[in-house]
């Protein structure tokens, strides 16, 4: 598949999607979101890939949705184009997705990062929802994902004021997993991704499903899902290998089957 607005490449078992519209600070238009999600789905189906990463460039992750593309929209044009269906597909990705963030990560771009499982950020990263300053509001899940992550009061403060906040504050509230020097973001993200790629892939995907379900399910329903996934793991060769390796006092070799 040929891409125009993203670059894709693999490092070992990590599939990388790099946002590539530098002249507009990687502003996300519909084509770009389509390309991102199409590629994530391809990696999700590719047995050679165990972890995915979405990154911007050294200066910016992305400055939000493409305002030029959006400004003439009408309610009916959006109803007919259904621009958020592609975002829903992202929630169905089974393998881990890491957002690797330098610089601005605003609006739709922050929503893209919040759709990822983990966020590694540089000290230079700035997160925020400036939509209120444009007379609109987040539309790709921002009000829901941020509120679930940090609670209503902080979410309202940030979304109402629309000011960007720094990586260390995002980390203290549990939005960002790790903050490192700006020049180390790619390296740290890749190190994290590679260590995740070494874990048993079936365990990793079953864990993702169970942890993500905790957002929506009652405790008892969540426990039931966890139990099913726990049983399912025992259908894998990796479960046999993992436990055998422990007993034989050697490192396991996981194949993802």
User: Catalytic site residues?
Assistant: 65, 108, 111, 131
- Binding ligand CO8 (rule: CB under 6 A), the pick from 56, 64, 122, 201 is 64
Please check whether residue 214 is in contact with residue 29, taking contact to mean a CB–CB distance below 8 angstroms. no
- Tell me the window of 58-66, 90-98, 113-121, 150-158 that interacts with ligand CO8 (CB under 6 A): 58-66
Quickly tell me which residue has 């089974």 as its tokens. 94
Question: In this complex, which beta carbon is closest to ligand CO8, that of residue 132 or of residue 149?
Answer: 132
Q: How far is the CB of 107 from ligand CO8 (least distance, A)?
A: 2
Pick from 7, 16, 38, 6: nearest CA to 185:
16
Q: Can residue 159 be called a binding residue for ligand CO8 (CB under 6 A)?
A: no
Please check whether residue 211 is in contact with residue 218, taking contact to mean a CB–CB distance below 8 angstroms. no
Q: How far is the CB of 124 from ligand CO8 (least distance, A)?
A: 13
Q: Can residue 197 be called a binding residue for ligand CO8 (CB under 6 A)?
A: no
**Can you tell me the distance from the alpha carbon of 103 to that of 82, in angstroms, rounded to the nearest whole number?**
30
Q: Can residue 125 be called a binding residue for ligand CO8 (CB under 6 A)?
A: no
**Can you tell me the distance from the alpha carbon of 164 to that of 137, in angstroms, rounded to the nearest whole number?**
15
Q: Can residue 33 be called a binding residue for ligand CO8 (CB under 6 A)?
A: yes
Q: Can residue 88 be called a binding residue for ligand CO8 (CB under 6 A)?
A: no
Q: Which two tokens stand for residue 189?
A: 């993200």
**Can you tell me the distance from the alpha carbon of 140 to that of 73, in angstroms, rounded to the nearest whole number?**
15
Please check whether residue 21 is in contact with residue 4, taking contact to mean a CB–CB distance below 8 angstroms. no
Q: Can residue 132 be called a binding residue for ligand CO8 (CB under 6 A)?
A: no
Q: Which residues contact 145 (CB under 8 A, 6 or more apart)?
A: 111, 114, 115
Q: Can residue 28 be called a binding residue for ligand CO8 (CB under 6 A)?
A: yes
- Binding ligand CO8 (rule: CB under 6 A), the pick from 8, 14, 19, 25 is 25
Point out the residue whose Cβ comes nearest to ligand CO8.
Answer: 107
Q: Which residues bind ligand CO8 (CB under 6 A)?
A: 24-25, 27-28, 33, 63-68, 104, 106-108, 130-131, 134, 138-140
């Amino acid at each position: 598949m040929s891409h125009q607005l993203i670059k894709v490449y693999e490092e070992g078992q990590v599939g990388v999607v790099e946002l590539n519209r530098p002249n507009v600070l990687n502003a996300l238009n519909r084509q770009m979101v389509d390309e991102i999600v199409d590629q994530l789905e391809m990696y999700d189906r590719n047995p050679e890939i165990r972890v995915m990463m979405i990154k911007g460039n050294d200066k910016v992750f992305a400055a939000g949705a493409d305002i030029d593309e959006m400004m003439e929209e009408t309610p009916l044009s959006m109803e007919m184009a259904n621009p958020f269906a592609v975002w829903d597909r992202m929630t169905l990705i089974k393998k881990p997705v890491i957002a690797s963030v330098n610089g601005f990560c605003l609006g739709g771009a922050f929503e893209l990062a919040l759709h990822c499982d983990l966020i590694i950020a540089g000290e230079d990263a700035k997160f925020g929802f400036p939509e209120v300053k444009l007379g609109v509001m987040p539309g790709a899940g921002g009000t829901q994902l941020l509120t679930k992550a940090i609670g209503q009061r902080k979410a309202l403060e940030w979304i109402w004021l629309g000011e960007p906040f720094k990586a260390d504050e995002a980390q203290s509230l549990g939005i960002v997993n790790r903050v490192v020097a700006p020049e180390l973001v790619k390296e740290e993200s890749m190190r994290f991704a590679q260590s995740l790629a070494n874990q048993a892939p079936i365990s990793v995907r079953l864990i993702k499903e169970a942890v993500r379900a905790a957002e929506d399910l009652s405790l008892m329903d969540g426990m039931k899902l966890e139990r099913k996934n726990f049983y399912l793991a025992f259908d894998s060769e990796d479960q046999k290998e993992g436990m055998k390796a422990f007993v034989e006092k050697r490192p396991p070799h996981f194949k993802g089957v």
